[in-house]
Each structure stands twice: as structure tokens, then as C-alpha cells.
Amino acid sequence: MSKKADDYYDKKIENGLKKKELEEKYGAQFSEFKELPPEMENQWLNSIDEFEKQYDNAKRTTVWEYMDKPDYKKKDELKPHEISKELERLNELMGKSNIALSTLCEVEDTELYRFITEELFQHEMDDIRIPGMMSCFTYEEFHPNAKWDIEQAIDYFFRMTMGKMENIGGDGYDLLYIDTENHKDSNGNTIDKQKVVNCINNFLDSFDTFEVVTYKEKTFKIDQEKTDANVIFTIHYRGLYENSSETYDFKGDGCFKLKPSKYDGWEMYHIDLPGLTIT
């Protein structure tokens, strides 16, 4: 056996022992990494070990203190044309401190600068420093965008639920953004959870696949308190069978009613779709 092969298996054994140590010390659980090179896996395991060691004794600090208290000006101290350049400078400073800020939606530079200097810099975090480890923040974690969350729930419904994605850990299909516990009919009456699940699964089982031909929103309303939303749309979709040219078209208006989910995002508590009636 070559020295290269010896090193490979030595590292595999070392990684196995390291995993056992992490499991015993921290209760870690690992799945197999079939494609991960042993050297890379070893670095990853060492990073986990170092993180756990620091986490046990980590102090709380603010993002600004974590960045060694960089100088900055308040938004009102800057002229409008200076905002973008200062925002770029702060982003570079955050990057050097392994801090990243992202947005899911478009946010104006002025608002991002205000957010960083007035909110993010004061936000508390663990003072843990590991080479290569990033502390990542998202603007919408602090300021949720209800419209974006609702659009994501609807998109997920068409792509995953109607795409017949299997329900992980259960029977039937993925109903992640559907509130099956408190689903309502058109009169506002609560429908039994199992009836909701069975109705959706039975409909999806009627065809092998579905194809959305057109989807167009007619009205998109969110109440002032952002506790309820109503989306009315017109849709044309079809059910298809494998190895057959036969299709069945569904056309007409539909409605989704949604509310904030306790698991973040929004979920549908009423679905009115041509061809799918939940009763």
C-alpha cells in the first residue's frame, strides 16, 4: 500500500475517533459523507470541536463590538449621495470581521444603512471566532416582508405540493405551507385535519403530474395588522398521465387565504382552486 493510501486511511480512522469524541462530549450526531475528502472532513470536525469549546465560555457582545467598534456616521449626518459609498465601506468592514448581511428582497441603500447602524450594530451575538466561520444575518429576520413570505408560500404550493413532493417522515405529499390544523371552508368553518390531508392527497393522486399553464393574481390584500391575507387569482392548469397524451384542464378563479405561521412565514388556511374543493 502506498504512503498516500496509508495517509488516507489514517485520516479516516482519525475522523471516526473524532466523531465518537464529539458524540460523547456534545451529543453530536453525524451522517455519512460519502463524497467528502477525509482531509476536508477533518477540518470540519475540528471546527465543530472548536466552536463547542468556545460556545461553552462565550460572552455576549454586540455586532459593533465584535467588529472592534469601527467609526461610522449616523444616517442623518450623511448627504443622500454619500449613503451608498458609506454602505459599501461598512459591508467591507463586516466582511473582514466575518459578518455577512443579506436581503431576500430589494431594500434601498438608505434603509440598509439605517438598519446596520441603528439596529444590527446593537444586536447581541456570541463572541466566537473561528477562522472561516461567518456570522450571517438577513434583513428580513428583523423586518419580515409579508408579501414576499406569502408569495413564497404560494410558489411552494405549486412547485412542491402540486409537484407531488413526498411528505418526509409521513404519508402523502408535502403540505408544508398548508395549515391542516385550522383549515377553513368557504363559510369559515374549521375542517377536520384528516379530511384536509385526505382531500388534497386524493386529488393529487388523480394524476401523475400537474402543469400550471397560466397563473395571474387579480387581487393581493394583507390586512393592516399583517395577520391575514387574501389572494384572488385566475389560473389554468392541467393534470397529466404518464405515457399518455390525455390531459384534463382546469380553468377559473381561485383564492388562497393565509395567516402568519408559528414556524415563520405564512401558511394557507383556505384553498379554493378549480378542481380542488376541500370539505
C-alpha cell of 152? 413564497
CA distance to 88, 150, 171, 275, per residue, from 130 (Å):
24, 36, 42, 54
The three-class DSSP label of residue 15 is helix
Query: What is the average per-residue pLDDT within 18-34?
Result: 61
pLDDT at 247 (0 to 100): 93
Count CA atoms within 13 Å of residue 15 on its CB side. Answer: 21
- Please indicate whether residue 37 or residue 193 has the higher confidence score (pLDDT): 193
Query: What is the average per-residue pLDDT within 86-111?
Result: 96
Q: Give percent of the chain above pLDDT 70.
A: 79
DSSP state of 105: S
Q: Give percent of the chain above pLDDT 90.
A: 69
In the predicted model, what is the mean pLDDT of the chain? 87
Instruction: Say if residues 266 and 259 touch (Cβ distance below 8 Å).
Output: yes
Whether the pLDDT of residue 3 is over 80: the answer is no
pLDDT tens-digit readout, 229-273: 999 999 999 999 998 999 999 999 999 999 999 888 999 999 999
CA distance to 1, 97, 116, 134, 165, per residue, from 123 (Å):
55, 15, 10, 16, 38
pLDDT at 263 (0 to 100): 86
Query: What is the average per-residue pLDDT within 131-157?
Result: 93
Residue 143: pLDDT band (50, 70, 90) is: very high
Query: What is the average per-residue pLDDT within 133-142?
Result: 92
146-277: what fold?
Nuclear Transport Factor 2; Chain: A, (3.10.450)
pLDDT at 1 (0 to 100): 47
Q: How far apart are CA 174 and CA 126, in angstroms?
A: 35
| Residue-range domain boundaries for the chain | 3-57, 60-142, 146-277
Backbone dihedral region of 77: left (phi > 0), alpha (psi from -120 to 50 degrees) or beta?
alpha
pLDDT at 134 (0 to 100): 86
Query: What is the average per-residue pLDDT within 156-176?
Result: 91
Query: What is the average per-residue pLDDT within 184-190?
Result: 95
Give this prediction's pTM: 0.75
pLDDT at 29 (0 to 100): 65
pLDDT at 41 (0 to 100): 66
